[in-house]
Amino acid sequence: MMSRTPQFPDRTSISARRTGMYDAWGAACRPCFVSAAALWSHATLAAEPQVTEGFINASPAEVWRIFTTAEGYKQTGVAHAEVDFKVGGAIRTHYDPKGRLGDANTIVNEILAYEPERMLAIRIKQAPADFKYPDAIAGTWTVIYLTPAGDNMTQVRIVGLGYTDEPQSQAMRKFFAEGNRWTLDRIAKPYWPKCAKCVAEEAANADASTN
């Protein structure tokens, strides 16, 4: 019961009482902080991004076209592509020439954000039915950076994020590391500079075919 004439303790008593309360609270929660720190450290280590980089002998505008149009996407190796280019829009692709967009093996990427000719962020909204790591997809996304690297040359940096140290996630990380390398090399190949001898031979062959 409260006294009708409450006695307020002096500041020293309040300070001591508060200090005691904080010490007790800190002692009780210290394991929580330690556990949280350990989990944060563990999560940070587990979230190591997967990075694939390369150069394409084309302007950022041309490389941007590849990643943002249906016809451009076919240069990445897909057989079918459909792009609704806007934030929240979908990039639908299919690797099987006999397949069709909308079937079970259609890949659907959602556009999260972009800066024209500089950055495109996407996430897999629907993996194909035959994808080996469906449970590892959640929480991952990809950011594609384009950086001018001289006349008609672009540095492309593909960064996959959201991976964990779970075996399925790590297996998927390896899968995309290999896939991204293959894709980037495929995109770059048509833009490789040709040697002088190759150009001369092509010109000679072209002349011979017209005569």
What does the pLDDT read at residue 209? 74
Q: What is the pTM of this model?
A: 0.71
Q: Which contacts of 4-11 are long-range, i.e. CB under 8 A and separated by 24 or more positions?
A: none
For residue 204, the model assigns a pLDDT of 85
Count of C-beta atoms within a 10 Å radius of residue 35: 10
- Can you give the pLDDT at residue 105? 96
Instruction: For the chain, list residues with pLDDT below 70.
Output: 1-47, 194-198, 211
Q: Report the pLDDT value the prediction gives residue 46, as an integer from 0 to 100.
A: 52
> Number of C-alpha atoms within 13 angstroms, CB side, residue 153?
8
Contact criterion met (CB below 8 Å) for 157 and 147: yes
Query: What integer pLDDT is reported at residue 9 of this predicted model?
Result: 33
